[in-house]
């Protein structure tokens, strides 16, 4: 029986509701958020049932401050054929460290710590803003409307198709660059959070940093286009940081080969100066896409 099925029974109380505004404000206050995540007391309220690995919805509190968080214990990770067992939590933390180093604030504050079910990843919960503009849409298959970029044609039933699109949005474009660096194998639509302060966050980065190319994403709207100047500047800075303090922070979570592959991806992006194209050797769209 997989380890994730051996987790103790979860609480059955009514979980506290996350406040979109308060969560976004705390996510922007990174030092405070990281301190709370590292030192706060975790109370598990339930399992997120749509997650493939054990993902537990929690409250976290310390020194009169409280927030919501997601806790993914290593004990609940499902074995994967292409990633070493017990490494997904560390990869989530490594992804956060790289995102933080870009200065783009694209992943909520994330730490690796002990919890009620053993060591795991703990990430600040950022509730989506219900009033935010959509990040994905289905449009007429003849072509996207102005301001939207095509991803793929989708079967909507009854023999009908529609075009799945995402906005031509600077925030999403930054995330597409980050995913190329991380070699993110699972950028689904449900892994995009539009926060109440106008930021967009990406979540679920356990399947990243593989040494083989595995980029699977819905953010293909800029495929083959020149990278923006700001992206090239960030990539140059990342290359330097990986040879210094950033590389040291990533070393506990990644192998030497995985770090070398990350450096190689950055070098390739800088060399081509373009967003990557979908591979012809593996599916370019994650499944399910949403």
Given this model, what pLDDT does residue 1 score? Answer: 24
Q: Where are the domains of the chain?
A: 3-124
**Binning pLDDT at 50, 70 and 90, where does residue 249 land?**
very high
- In three-state secondary structure terms, 39 is helix
- Which backbone phi and psi does 282 adopt, to 5 degrees? -155, 160
- Average pLDDT along the chain: 91
Predicted local distance difference test score (pLDDT) of residue 6? 43
- Per-residue pLDDT, averaged over 56-77, amounts to 93
Answer whether the bond into residue 117 is a cis peptide, omega within 30°.
no
Q: Note the pLDDT of residue 48.
A: 84
Q: pLDDT: is 202 or 288 the higher one?
A: 202
Q: What is the pLDDT of residue 12?
A: 52
- Can you tell me the distance from the alpha carbon of 154 to that of 164, in angstroms, rounded to the nearest whole number? 6
Structural tokens at position 46: 């339930």
Lowest mean pLDDT among 40-49, 81-90, 155-164: 155-164
| Length of the chain counted residue by residue | 290
How far apart, in whole angstroms, are the C-alpha atoms of residue 6 and residue 206? 20
The pLDDT value recorded for residue 53 is 82
Above 70 in pLDDT, residue 7?
Answer: no
Q: What's the average model confidence in pLDDT over 94-111?
A: 97
Q: What is the mean pLDDT of residues 231-260?
A: 97
- Mean pLDDT to the nearest integer, 142-155: 90
Whole-structure pTM value: 0.92
**Residue 287 pLDDT class (50, 70, 90 cuts):** confident
Q: Quick one: which of 108, 111, 118 has its CA closest to 86?
A: 118
Q: Is the pLDDT of residue 16 over 90?
A: no
The answer, yes or no, to whether residue 5 has pLDDT greater than 60, is no
Identify the residue with better confidence: 15 or 155: 155
Phi, psi of 270 (to 5 degrees): -70, -35
- pLDDT band at 122; cut points 50, 70, 90: very high
Secondary structure class of 146 (helix, strand, coil): coil
Mean pLDDT calculated for residue range 232-250: 97
Distances (CA, A) of 130 to 4, 114, 141, 202, 207: 32, 32, 27, 17, 28
């Amino acid at each position: 029986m997989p380890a994730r099925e051996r987790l103790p029974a979860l609480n059955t109380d009514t979980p506290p509701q996350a406040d979109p505004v308060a969560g976004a404000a705390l996510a922007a206050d990174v030092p405070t958020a990281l301190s709370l995540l590292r030192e706060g007391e975790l109370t598990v309220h339930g399992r997120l049932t749509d997650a493939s690995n054990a993902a537990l919805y929690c409250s976290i509190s310390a020194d009169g401050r409280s927030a919501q968080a997601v806790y993914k214990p290593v004990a609940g990770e499902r074995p994967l054929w292409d990633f070493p067992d017990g490494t997904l939590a560390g990869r989530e933390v490594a992804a956060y460290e790289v995102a933080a180093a870009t200065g783009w604030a694209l992943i909520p504050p994330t730490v690796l710590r002990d919890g009620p079910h053993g060591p795991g990843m703990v990430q600040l919960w950022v509730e989506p803003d219900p009033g935010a503009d959509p990040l994905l849409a289905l449009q007429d298959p003849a072509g996207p409307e102005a301001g939207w970029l095509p991803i793929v044609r989708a079967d909507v039933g009854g023999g009908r198709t529609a075009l799945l699109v995402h906005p031509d949005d600077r925030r999403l474009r930054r995330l597409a660059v980050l995913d190329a660096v991380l070699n993110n194998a699972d950028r689904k639509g449900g892994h995009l959070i539009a926060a109440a302060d106008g930021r967009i966050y990406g979540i679920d980065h356990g399947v990243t940093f593989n040494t083989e190319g595995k980029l699977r994403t819905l953010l293909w709207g800029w495929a083959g286009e020149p990278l923006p100047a700001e992206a090239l500047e960030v990539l140059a800075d990342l290359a330097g940081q990986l040879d210094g303090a950033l590389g040291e922070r990533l070393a506990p979570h990644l192998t030497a080969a995985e770090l070398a592959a990350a450096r190689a991806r950055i070098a390739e992006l800088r060399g081509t100066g373009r967003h990557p194209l979908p591979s012809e050797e593996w599916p370019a769209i994650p499944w399910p896409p949403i």
